[in-house]
Amino acid sequence: MIIDKFIDAMNYTQPTDLANFAKDFGNKDNESKGLFPYEGITYDNYNYELNKSQPFSIRAFDSQLKNKTMSDDDYQLYLTDAKNYATRWDYLQHFNELDTQIMIQPLDNLINWFYQYNVDMLSFMSLAANANAIKYA
């Protein structure tokens, strides 16, 4: 029997974002999880918005939560990437794949680091629990 287990890597590290986690534990500066207008897609409009074939506007990437706007350079990167996809749904799939792929090496590195201390990281639910296992093993 195969059992899949969802792992939230943020349980195993200090507070950080995905890009910094990949950099800190994956030793990679140049990988990107891509760009997506999180706040522009809602429960009420997702199907309408994602069925469109044109790229999102630069303003769609504005974040009220973070009080940030997208730079022109980042928007150009997005446009270059987005032109490879027929619809926004296709781009979203690409974005989600990037979002998971950049986690593989950092998670493997973290698992191997804990293994050096004879701790199976995935047996515990947090960084604190793993640290406790190392200290009292």
State pLDDT tens for residues 96-131: 998 888 888 888 998 999 999 999 998 888 889 999
Residue 137 has a CB neighbour count (10 Å cut-off) of: 8
* pLDDT: which is higher, 35 or 18: 35
Residue 119 has a CB neighbour count (10 Å cut-off) of: 19
pTM for the predicted model, two decimal places: 0.72
Checking if the pLDDT of 94 tops 90, the result is yes
**DSSP 8-state assignment for residue 58:** G
Residue type, 71: S
Question: Percent of the chain having pLDDT more than 70?
Answer: 95
The residue behind tokens 């698992």 is 111
- State the Cα–Cα distance between residues 78 and 101, nearest whole angstrom: 18
- Grouping H, G, I as helix, E, B as strand and the rest as coil, residue 118 is coil
- Grouping H, G, I as helix, E, B as strand and the rest as coil, residue 63 is strand
- State the Cα–Cα distance between residues 77 and 113, nearest whole angstrom: 34
**DSSP 8-state assignment for residue 90:** H
In the prediction, which pLDDT does 22 show?
Answer: 84
pLDDT band of residue 28 (cuts 50, 70, 90) is: low
